[in-house]
Chain A
Amino acid sequence: MNETSEHTDLNRREFLTRSAATAGVALAPGVMLYSVAQARPADEPVSSAVRWGLLIDSNKCASGCSDCVSACERENGWGTGSTDETHSDATQKAQWIRKVEVKNTETGHAFTLPMMCQHCENPPCADVCPTGASFRRDDGIVLVDKHICIGCRYCMMACPYKARSFVHETLTDQKPYAPRGKGTVEACTLCVHRVDAGDSPACVEACTAENHNAMLFGDLNDPESPIAKTVATYATTQIRADLNLNPGVRYQGI
């Protein structure tokens, strides 16, 4: 009985998402109204009742595929998604998300995974930030307030995931919803602008659109959400769990 009602709910959710997407294509001026209507109201602050999380299944993540990375670049206007950063070399350029290939040299077992800001519950970047620019939003998204960032890069040293980048040059080609600027540190925002509008991050959308389905985004605090159900059912791993940071990004098959 319960199972049936859960399925009904899921279908309803999917239906709403899809119908909103269809309406978005058909009605350009009405898009905002539709997509905001099902998300948290725009005038309501985020709350800790929600904990956004991302589950990445390394078994489904294909070696050589970087659809998530290019989707992030296009969405947030860094890397190949931007005409800026022409003077920086590869080690200096912004990198919000990267694909990592891992191989156990003893057994030969190899797998690949996307690595980005892990959106820790206890973020070391925020701990060391001298100005309060690095912070964790109530819903678990770790961000840099670039208005306050002085570019000291302590957070880059503190992050065990090497997830943050420093912008070395003047930029001109930013996206309206993803401001970036010289002298500040930046990282994956979990596509906070999309999440606030009720959508998934661009990487997740790209992975799903290509039928890889290796990334699952949702509210870890909502027991009915697919991500909460999956982490409750299957063994999942946090990278460097020994640090007790409780990242919001979890992995399967690693």
Chain B
Amino acid sequence: MTCFANLKRSLTVLATVALLGASAPGGAADSGIPMPSFMEPQGTQCVEDTDFMRRNHMEVILDHRDKTMHEGIRTKKHSLKECINCHAADYQGDEKAREQHFCVSCHQYTAAQPDCFQCHSLKPEQPGAAR
């Protein structure tokens, strides 16, 4: 049941992206292939090369996740929380803004399941929070 619902949702999103792709600037590559559209990161430089991160970000944060969970290592580099802090804005419940979420837009485009955000917060940490 859930699988069908997910598939249906993925197809809907793909169709929406395809439709938007024709008109939205930046939503489609010049080749005409529909691409996910997302907000620009706030930082200037990612912790690794873009090409590397595109292919390997899941491995990188998986490794860091186990170190944090079991050993309490909380370095910022390769931390999912820091990915969110840089790549996402607080969408304040605005569904359209949520679709522009850097991680969510691409995960939906590629139908990545499960993604991190069934449990992890999509929102960046509040500025001034002491951790």
Spell out A's residues near B (CB within 8 Å): 24, 28, 31-32, 35, 40, 42-46, 135, 137-139, 143, 145-147, 170-171, 174-177, 179-182, 184, 192-194, 196-197, 199
Contacts and interface: CB of A to CB of B under 8 A. Distances in A.
B6 to A, nearest CB: 13
B73 A44 contact: yes
A198 to B, nearest CB: 10
Contacts of A194: 131
A196 B72 contact: yes
* Interface pairs A-B: 6 shortest CB-CB: A181-B119, A45-B71, A46-B72, A179-B119, A176-B121, A174-B121
B128 interface: yes
Contact of B119 (A40, A135, A146, A199): A146
A182 B131 CA distance: 25
Interface in B74-128: 74-76, 81, 84, 118-121, 123-125, 127-128
B35 to A, nearest CB: 26
Contacts of A174: 119-121
Contact of A147 (B69, B71, B73, B121): B69
A92 B127 CA distance: 33
A47 to B, nearest CB: 9
B65 interface: yes
- Select the residue from B73, B76, B128, B130 with max chain A CB neighbours within 10 A: B130
A132 to B, nearest CB: 10
B75 A43 contact: yes
Dominant SS among interface residues on chain A: loop
B72 A45 contact: yes
A31 B127 CA distance: 10
Contacts of A32: 131
Nearest to A31: B130
15 contacts: A31-B128, A40-B72, A46-B72, A138-B71, A139-B72, A145-B70, A146-B119, A176-B81, A176-B124, A177-B131, A182-B118, A193-B74, A193-B131, A197-B74, A199-B130
Interface of B: 65, 67, 69-76, 81, 84, 118-121, 123-125, 127-128, 130-131
A179 B130 contact: no
A177 B127 CA distance: 14
Contacts of B70: 135, 137, 145
Dominant SS among interface residues on chain B: loop
A24 B118 contact: no
Contacts of A147: 65, 69
B120 to A, nearest CB: 5
- Select the residue from B67, B69, B71 with max chain A CB neighbours within 10 A: B69
Nearest to A135: B70
Given A175-B121, A197-B130, 15 more contacts: A28-B127, A40-B72, A45-B67, A45-B73, A46-B72, A135-B70, A147-B65, A174-B120, A176-B81, A176-B120, A179-B120, A192-B72, A196-B72, A199-B130, A199-B131
B69 A46 contact: no
A16 to B, nearest CB: 15
A35 B67 CA distance: 21
Nearest to B123: A176
A141 to B, nearest CB: 8
B72 A176 contact: no
